[in-house]
A and B are shown apart, each in its own frame.
Chain A
């Protein structure tokens, strides 16, 4: 298992280490339930150093990314904008979902999923043109996500930052402990929050300050278990579950990450066809009507016939019941549709509901 620069700290804090996409990371320190609720009510910090960072730069970098990703990079303000997009193959299927941090001058930092770093890097290299440089910084960069309603106060007081005017989904270069960082107001949990990216050697001091002095301000470490239940309630997709090589962003309900007006891009033909002619596979959110709990891979039924499968399922602590996301056939995607989920040999009743499952509490602008 690969270790992030914070691995020894997770072990000494009593974190229960699991294998996540080849990385040894804590699934929880105390319990998923406790850490989930703490994030919604106060502030949690997560080691997300396994995320990959690929830098794309040069005079042709903009055109290259416009061609390679589904999103319109021009929507991101230079020097502070973050744009969410999908890396598709020619058939429109998703190879990854990424965040592009748009730099000041022809430099873009693409944040990618840990499991896909190598493939994304080689996909980028495959389409590289003159005037584009691509560098994989994943092994040198670390990241901590600070999430929850108290995140702003915690970071302002611990590191002397001024964050009040920072917009959601924006970033800036800043200094913490005398070291350069990128700081973004972003996250995966549905709460207000920030992510701090820096070089491996500088991340430990930030983590230590959070663990030692953050506690008094209401900040505690949390593991990947809570990160998953939080993102599920927020209705956010996880690559390998709601998105994969057999799924297009249109099917995954990510039309907002696809721009048909920016010009040509890889996968456009298929995605446009789906937009115009419709799709047979739909991503839906659902909620159990009894106390049973759906899990990844369980069969979804309608009137006794299999119509799909669960992509992510769990007990949802804030909702207080079992919820999930699933791919279902046409005719099953409308809110209110009654579905059956096959759980331990019986069929439990569920209902299609709109996502997110909880009110998002990050800033609106």
Chain B
């Protein structure tokens, strides 16, 4: 995966866009911080969300983490593999460990998200 083509949020989600469909996951930095993912509560298809809404929860051994919607839209599907193998989120955050897909109400919002360079600056400042 070429992570430079993705867009990012300050809350550590990544987004890829194809047409109106946005695929969302969490960054490598985020999976390291969360550590040991043991349960993923995935969103149901059809769920309508606004940008920055909490969409789902990722649970590690130590705590529960909210995952936020990067853009407004409707959930199309979730990565069901994570139900059986939540550890994919740690092992492959950008590929096999993607979280859900969203049909965006306004795909142009994608361009307003952080670029990889901007995200890396934000993430390094936070620590």
The residues in B between 56 and 78 inclusive whose CB is less than 8 angstroms from any CB of A are 57, 59-64
Q: Is B38 an interface residue (CB 8 A)?
A: yes
Q: Is B116 an interface residue (CB 8 A)?
A: no
- Out of B36, B39, B60, B62, name the residue touching A291 (CB < 8 Å): B39
Chain B residues within an 8 Å CB radius of A229 = 61
Q: Establish whether residues A295 and B64, one from each chain, have CB atoms under 8 Å apart when the complex forms.
A: yes
Q: Establish whether residues A31 and B39, one from each chain, have CB atoms under 8 Å apart when the complex forms.
A: no
- Out of B36, B41, B63, name the residue touching A295 (CB < 8 Å): B63
Complex-state Cα separation, A245 to B63, whole angstroms: 25
Complex-state Cα separation, A60 to B36, whole angstroms: 51
Chain B residues within an 8 Å CB radius of A292 = 39, 41, 59
Q: Name A's interface SS.
A: mixed
Cβ-closest chain A residue relative to B83? A291
Chain B residues within an 8 Å CB radius of A27 = 62
- Out of A32, A33, A317, A344, name the residue touching B41 (CB < 8 Å): A344
CB distance from A265 to the nearest CB of B (A): 38
Q: Is B21 an interface residue (CB 8 A)?
A: no
- Out of A32, A291, A344, name the residue touching B61 (CB < 8 Å): A32
Q: Is B50 an interface residue (CB 8 A)?
A: no
Cβ-closest chain A residue relative to B87? A33
Q: Establish whether residues A315 and B39, one from each chain, have CB atoms under 8 Å apart when the complex forms.
A: yes
Chain A residues within an 8 Å CB radius of B91 = none
Q: Is B35 an interface residue (CB 8 A)?
A: yes
Chain A residues within an 8 Å CB radius of B64 = 293, 295, 344
Q: Establish whether residues A225 and B39, one from each chain, have CB atoms under 8 Å apart when the complex forms.
A: no
Chain A residue total in the interface (Cβ 8 A): 17
Q: A31-B35, A31-B36, A33-B36 are in contact. Are A225 and B61 (CB under 8 A)?
A: yes
Cβ-closest chain B residue relative to A320? B38
Chain A residues within an 8 Å CB radius of B38 = 33, 293, 315
Q: Establish whether residues B35 and A315, one from each chain, have CB atoms under 8 Å apart when the complex forms.
A: no
Q: Mark A316-352, 1 if CB is under 8 A from B, else 0.
A: 0100001000000000000000000000100000000
Q: Establish whether residues A293 and B62, one from each chain, have CB atoms under 8 Å apart when the complex forms.
A: no
Chain B residues within an 8 Å CB radius of A33 = 36, 38, 61
Q: Is A28 an interface residue (CB 8 A)?
A: yes
Of B39, B57, B62, chain A has the most CB atoms within 10 Å of the CB of B62
22 contacts between A and B (CB under 8 A): A31-B61, A32-B36, A32-B60, A32-B61, A32-B62, A33-B36, A225-B62, A229-B61, A291-B39, A292-B59, A293-B38, A293-B39, A293-B64, A295-B64, A314-B61, A315-B39, A315-B59, A315-B60, A315-B61, A317-B61, A322-B39, A344-B57
Interface, chain B (partner A; CB < 8 A): 35-36, 38-39, 41, 57, 59-64
